[in-house]
Amino acid sequence: MKCNLKFILPLVTVLSTACNNHQKMAGVKQQGDLVFAQGKKITNANFTGTAYLQMLIESDSLNTISVGNVTFEAGARSKWHIHPAGQILLAIEGVGYYQEKGKPKQLLRKGDAIKCPPDTPHWHGAGADTPFVQVAITGGEKGETVWLEPVTDEEYNSK
């Protein structure tokens, strides 16, 4: 029995470490590992599921561009919406989606960038089983975001 414990204890330690590393990599990194803070939970009705926003740069009279870090939990997504001045999305962690009305859904991975044209209905969010983090760069000189209808489960699950 003593001989078996010599092998079992190190094995348990290795498996425990591997499990912790897998959990960390399975979704969004731990708060201390993120590029930007996760921010506060978004509580308005413009999202399905749970999403968080950390504003990095607020627009003002000198610069009408805003920059926000958005963290989507798995399955979370925005409603369809329009940015009158357009938007740029930078995928910085996880797996997500972006779709413009009438076009196929696009898969987004860390390092991808999307340029959403002005006045183009679109939505974005996390994969069904994977959180997603994006930096959203939005022009505000032509008006505020116009929120439309929710993305249906059928739209979200389409290929």
pLDDT for 141: 84
Domain boundaries, the chain: 1-27, 34-157
Residue 91 is given by DSSP the state E
Under DSSP, is residue 33 helix (H, G, I), strand (E, B) or coil?
Answer: helix
pLDDT in tens, 91-148: 999 999 999 999 999 999 999 999 999 999 999 999 999 999 999 999 988 889 999 9
pLDDT for 33: 72
Separation between Cα atoms, residue 89 and residue 69, nearest integer Å: 10
Q: Which residues pair with 107 in a beta bridge?
A: 97
Q: Which residues pair with 98 in a beta bridge?
A: 106, 124
User: What CATH code is assigned to 34-157?
Assistant: 2.60.120.10
Answer whether 92's CB lies under 8 Å from 126's CB: no
Burial 26-40, CB ≥16 within 10 A → b, else e: ebbeeeeebebebbe
End-to-end CA separation in angstroms for the chain: 55
Q: Which residues pair with 123 in a beta bridge?
A: 99
pLDDT in tens, 21-42: 334 334 455 555 778 889 999 9
Mean pLDDT of 42-64: 95
Judged against a pLDDT cut of 60, whether residue 11 lies above it is answered with: no
